[in-house]
A and B are shown apart, each in its own frame.
Chain A
Amino acid sequence: MTTETRKPQESHQTLWDISVPGRSGVRLPESDVPVQPMPDAALLREELPLPELSELDVVRHFTRLSQKNFSIDTNFYPLGSCTMKYNPKINDMVASTPGFSGIHPLQPEETVQGALELMSNLQDMLQEITGMPASTLAPLAGAHGELSGVLMIRAFHEQNGNPERKVMLIPDSAHGTNPASASMAGFDVVTVPSDDQGNMDLKALEAVANDKLGGLMITLPSTLGLFDPGIVEVCEIVHEAGGLVYGDGANMNALLGRVKLNDLGFDVVHLNLHKTTSTPHGGGGPGAGPICVGDKLTPFMPSPVVERDSEGGVESFKLVSPPNTIGTLSAGHGNFGVLVRSYAYLRALGAGGIRQASGDAVLNANYLLKRLEHLYYLPYDRICMHEVVFSGRWQKAQGVKALDVSKRLIDYGVHPPTMYFPLIVEEALMIEPTETESKETLDAFVDVMIAIAQESGQTPEVLTEAPHNTPVGRLDEARASRQPDVRYRA
């Protein structure tokens, strides 16, 4: 691996740099209706300062941009807690058929029965996977599902005459969206510590589980990649104090076909369909964050829910609003295009397939754990679930940070793991290989991690100056923040 291969900066031009007045990338037909009088000119704009490009200009510009990305299709991408598994191409293909991609959300219900049937079937499958009796596909992303879930918990307490239950407990290992969502729903966030095994500290939990308790938001497996064996007791403590349990399903890939969250005591759980069911992450969305709901919270679900009607032997489907709904979350019915892909994925796998997915995902993470634990410090020395969290503290002693290890991985063609999260692990490196990566890829990754560990001791500057062969080196983030330049100006 050489370190001096960065090319001189080519093609960082923006759309404006390549614009030539008079060009256009689209031609539309002339109007075929009699000319209608235009509105008062004072209401119209004169200038429309947009770039002018030919069709090929557009294609070449964005194609070149795309080539500056690492992606699942091009690179191993073990970004922890993001479940970067292979996104099957058939799913994109079916989602783009006109019968799905071309329909309007407000069409009469009898003209969209196929779409509603698909959504109803998907609700059924997600309910089976979680064991929950009800679900809605309305939330547009994981954090949107969280917001819905905590709003439902709030509505539940208010309806039961307990509006003072305004405390939401959140473990110290939680993803930042949990406290942010709880806060948006009007809860006061109280943090609960983890014990030395990475599990929830039950004594600490009991100490804060009182009559002000609204609920607990917990990720299972945790963001440490660990299944908390005390999870049933955790749910019981919360329930006994009158609270409800929200399950963040970000890490559901570990549990597919292994356990039903309803059995463990969860009252509501969201699933990140873009993670667990392989829909493309798109550089930061779109996702989908359906929620599966237990009996207590079913009346409060966000609207809409798809209802199946079998009256008279003829099946039909309609969108309904739960009786005490917390309301709607968007102008639509959910991210339908994502739901189609998710449905296709679950139909491709069935019960046996999802079980194989979690099995191989967990096997892969444990394989990396075993092969790397002698080189990278393992803060929780136990069997992990779908991801393994190392600490870069041994490297830090050599003057190399987790950031440097991550940046060096780029030189070897690997997307870095999630860094510095969870916050309770010093110099965290969170690695999630997923089930779709082969042993060959994992072995190659292990070789790279071994090489980097050696470099850390012998030539640390190679790491601290990495990456060396990307279009740009480490960027000045302080300057970006101090002097925000968030749009092009001619």
Chain B
Amino acid sequence: MNDVFPHSYFPHTQAQRAEMLAVVGVGSVDELFADIPERFRNPEFHLPPALTELELGRELGGLAKKNAVPGEYASFLGAGVYRHFIPSVVSAMISRGEFLTSYTPYQPEVSQGTLQATYEFQSLICELTGMEAANAGMYDGASAMAEAALMACRITDRDSVMVLDTVNPRYRAVLDTYLLPQGITINTVSLSDLVVDETTACILAQYPNFYGGIEALGDLADTAHQAGALLSVSANPVALGMFKAPGDYGADIVSGETQPLGVSMSFGGPFVGYFTCKNEYIRQMPGRIVGRTVDHEDRIGYVLTLQTREQHIRRERATSNICTSAALIATGTAVCIAALGPGGLRQMAELSYQKAHYAASVIGAVDGYEVIDDGTWFHEFVVKCPQSSKETTKKLLLRNIIGGLDVSDSVPNGMLFCATEMNTMTEIDALADALGQIAKGS
């Protein structure tokens, strides 16, 4: 079993291996594995044969070609993941090996790049959300909402949460996974049935909500605070380019999915969740936090801080088990916000607003389709279709259009359509035409 497998990833020559084995004092590499019980050592492994780099490009290119790509197809899918313009500087910066191939900045003197970029990410997110403190990021928006609920339970020492029924059902499902094992009660309620009492740790709301609606956060904050509970909001960062910040309404914890700002959709990940709170709660936050400080000569520098909350110090009493998260994606988001600036972000939000409302107006004008348009909304809207959502999706696909998400479990024949600055008027008109043809049975 001393066969050698030459590869560009492995630098040793056979002569060098022999030299090193002699230093170690063994006759073969296999002898180094003698602690593995012999009867289980060296079983057969059946993996596909190794490919050269040239072949790898072909193999993966072939798989990629089997997917339909939004952009090549007109796409009106949102529902938590959005296609927005990503400036080329984003991938240029986060492809730099120094960001890409470093790890968690345990040694601040040789990690000031990652640390300052993360500090700037935290700062930009605080400005966007109107909040006082942010952490370095969570896995994604859904797990961030779950960790926010856990944090609210720790802060209030209560064990029940109120989730609005307008929260993304995929987020709602993750709440179950995270909260139920800790004995926390989850109540899913409509806005009109919302009751908060002395057992409630927090209200969990989304802004805009799953159906695009802009929730009245001020009222929710009042309702929560009157009962000594917190308001935790999951907010879309592009919407915050034009809509009032949750912090300005008195939200206590604001988290969300950063994907719309500079992160490619990539079949759902890697993304990064952002996480913010009021200053008074900072020591209850999950995850890593970067802080600014000085060295002995008063030079400004950045470090991981408040680490006594974390698993590597506090172990089973940590605020969360999170360790490796999504630092690179957070850096990419910081680059994206820095490039957009206030003008660019506002324009991106307003363009999305304009396109989505235009789409709603032309779809609403097609016979047989009803747009549910109550109140202010952003990004997306529900349409009741004359045929089943499944049928409509299929027929749109035949016309090279990826339609909205099937939400027929909450609205009969309902589809959740989304438009952003990436959708042209031509595409939107073609969608309306296609829906018209489908209604007529073609």
- Asked whether A208 is an interface residue with its Cβ less than 8 Å from the other chain, the reply is no
B50 touches A349 (CB 8 A): yes
Whole-angstrom distance between the Cβ of A375 and the nearest chain B Cβ: 15
**In the complex, A259→B37 CA distance in Å?**
9
Are B293 and A476 within 8 A (Cβ)?
Answer: yes
Q: Which of B114-122, B155-163, B196-204 lies at the interface with chain A?
A: B114-122
Is A378 an interface residue when CB atoms closer than 8 A count as contact? no
> Quick check: B103 and A102 within 8 Å, CB to CB?
no
Contact A352/B300 with A70-B111, A487-B119 known, Cβ cut-off 8 Å: no
Residues of B within 8 A of A310 (CB): none
Q: Which residues of A contact B56 (CB under 8 A)?
A: 90, 94, 344, 347-348
Name A16-58 residues within 8 Å CB distance of B.
16, 23-29, 31-40, 43-45, 48-53, 55, 58
* Nearest opposing residue in chain B for A355, CB measure: B5
Inter-chain CA distance A224–B258, complex, in Å, is 37
CA distance A435 to B307 in the complex (A): 32
**B109, A141: Cβ atoms under 8 Å?**
no
CB-defined A-B contacts under 8 Å, sample of 9? A111-B67, A140-B270, A141-B325, A182-B316, A263-B40, A333-B269, A363-B20, A470-B110, A486-B290
Interface-forming stretch among B220-228, B347-355, B364-372, B434-442? B347-355
* Mask of B77-117 contacts with A, CB within 8 angstroms, 1/0: 10111010101010111111111111111111111111011
Closest to A102 in B: B69
Chain B residue at minimum C-beta to C-beta distance from A407: B109
- Docked complex Cα distance between A9 and B109 (Å): 13
Residue of A whose beta carbon sits closest to that of B327: A284
Question: What distance in Å separates the Cβ of B308 from its nearest Cβ neighbour in chain A?
Answer: 8
* A162 in contact (CB, < 8 A): no
The chain A residue with its CB closest to the CB of B169 is: A331
Q: Give the distance in Å from the alpha carbon of A285 to the alpha carbon of B362 in the complex.
A: 43
Q: Is the beta-carbon distance between B120 and A488 smaller than 8 angstroms?
A: yes
B344–chain A nearest beta-carbon distance, Å: 4
> Does A117 make an interface contact (CB < 8 A)?
yes
A332-B243 in contact given A327-B174, A474-B296, A485-B292 (Cβ < 8 Å): no
- Report if B27 contacts A (CB, 8 A): no
Q: Of residues 97 to 123 in A, which have CB atoms within 8 Å of B's CB atoms?
A: 97-108, 110-115, 117-118, 121
Q: Is B266 an interface residue (CB 8 A)?
A: yes
- List chain A residues, Cβ under 8 A from B307: 481
User: Contact at B321–A438, with CB atoms within 8 Å?
Assistant: no
Cβ of A180 and Cβ of B320 under 8 Å apart?
yes
Q: A51-B338, A52-B343 are in contact. Are A63 and B425 (CB under 8 A)?
A: no
Q: Given the interface contacts A87-B100, A263-B40, A473-B296, does A362 sit within 8 Å of B33 by beta carbon?
A: yes
Q: Which B residues are in CB contact (< 8 Å) with A283? A: 99, 102-105, 111, 113-114, 117-118, 327-328, 331
Known: A28-B348, A363-B29. Contact between A107 and B328, CB under 8 A? no
Say whether B192 faces chain A, with CB atoms less than 8 Å apart: no
Interface residues on B, range: 35 or more
7 A-B pairs besides A67-B113, A103-B70, A352-B5 with CB distance below 8 A are: A36-B357, A114-B64, A115-B267, A175-B323, A183-B318, A327-B173, A357-B9
Contact A475 B295 (CB under 8 A): yes
Give chain A nearest CB distance to B414 CB in angstroms: 14
Is the CB–CB distance between A108 and B98 below 8 Å? Answer: no
Is A142 among interface residues, defined by CB-CB distance under 8 A? yes
Q: Please, which residue of chain B has its CB at the minimum distance from the CB of A14?
A: B120
Closest residue of B by beta carbon distance from A82: B103
A335 pairs with B126, CB closer than 8 A: no
Q: Within 8 Å of chain B (Cβ to Cβ): is A202?
A: no
Say yes or no: A439-B321 contact (C-beta < 8 A), given A9-B300, A486-B119.
no
Establish whether residues A32 and B424, one from each chain, have CB atoms under 8 Å apart when the complex forms.
yes
Contacts of B269 in A (CB 8 A): 105, 140, 286, 330, 332-338
Q: How far is the CB of A405 from chain B (nearest CB, A)?
A: 12
Q: How many angstroms between the C-alpha atoms of A363 and B428 in the bound complex?
A: 60
Say whether B291 contacts A125, CB under 8 Å: no
Contacts A36-B361, A363-B21, A481-B291 given; does A24 touch B344 at CB 8 Å: yes
A462 interfacial contact with B, CB 8 Å: no
Q: Are B324 and A183 in contact (CB under 8 A)?
A: no
Top 8 nearest A-B pairs (CB, nearest first) are A332-B268, A99-B64, A282-B328, A73-B97, A114-B66, A105-B268, A286-B270, A350-B50
Minimal beta-carbon separation of B222 from chain A (angstroms): 16
Distance, CA A134 to CA B305, complexed state (A):
39
Q: Are A69 and B111 in contact, with the CB atoms below 8 A?
A: yes
Do the beta carbons of A40 and B376 come within 8 Å of each other?
A: yes
In the bound complex, residues from chain B placing their C-beta under 8 Å from that of A171 are none
Of the stretches A225-233, A291-299, A394-402, A447-455, the one at the interface is A225-233
B264, B341, B393: the one within 8 Å of A25 (CB): B341
Q: Within the complex, which residue of A55, A117, A180 is in contact with B66, where a contact is CB–CB below 8 Å?
A: A117
Q: A63-B96, A92-B100, A347-B50 are in contact. Are A39 and B214 (CB under 8 A)?
A: yes
Q: Are B126 and A487 in contact (CB under 8 A)?
A: yes
Name A100's contact: one of B93, B266, B306, B329 (CB within 8 Å). B266
Query: What chain A residues lie within 8 Å of B79 (beta carbons)?
Result: 106
Chain A contributes a number of interface residues (CB within 8 A of B) equal to 202
Q: Contact between B294 and A476 (Cβ–Cβ < 8 Å)?
A: yes
Q: Would you call A194 an interface residue if the criterion is a C-beta within 8 Å of the partner chain's C-beta atoms?
A: no
Contact A128 B46 (CB under 8 A): yes
Given contacts A99-B67, A176-B318, contact A94 B9 (CB under 8 A): no
A488–B123 contact, CB under 8 A?
yes
CB contacts (< 8 Å) of A70 on chain B: these are 98, 102, 107, 110-111
CB <8 Å contact, B341 and A24: yes
CB neighbours (8 Å) of B111 from chain A are 68-70, 283
Contact, CB under 8 Å: A71 / B122: no
A33 pairs with B425, CB closer than 8 A: yes
| Contact across chains for A25 and B23 when beta carbons are under 8 A apart | no
Contact partners of A35 in chain B: CB under 8 A: 354
Question: B23's contact among A27, A117, A370, by CB below 8 Å, is which?
Answer: A370
Contacting pair B257 A280 (CB below 8 A):
no
Nearest CB of A to B65, in Å:
6
Query: Which A residues lie within 8 Å of B405 (CB)?
Result: 106
Contacts of A241 in B (CB 8 A): none
Closest to A37 in B: B357
Q: List A residues 461-490 near B (Cβ within 8 Å).
A: 467, 470-477, 479-481, 484-488
Residues of B near A63 (CB, < 8 A) are 93, 96
If A48-B342, A258-B33, A338-B270 touch, whether A470 touches B109 (CB-CB below 8 Å) is yes
Taken residue by residue from 167 to 203, chain B's Cβ proximity to chain A (1 for < 8 Å, 0 otherwise) reads as 0101101101110011100000000000000000000
Cβ contact within 8 Å between B107 and A176: no
In contact, B5 and A229 (Cβ under 8 angstroms): no
- Write the B270-299 contact mask toward A (1 if CB under 8 angstroms, else 0): 111000000000100000111111111101
Distance in angstroms between the alpha carbons of A151 and B178 in the assembled complex = 9
Give the docked Cα–Cα distance between A261 and B73 (Å): 44
User: Does B35 interact with chain A (Cβ within 8 Å)?
Assistant: yes
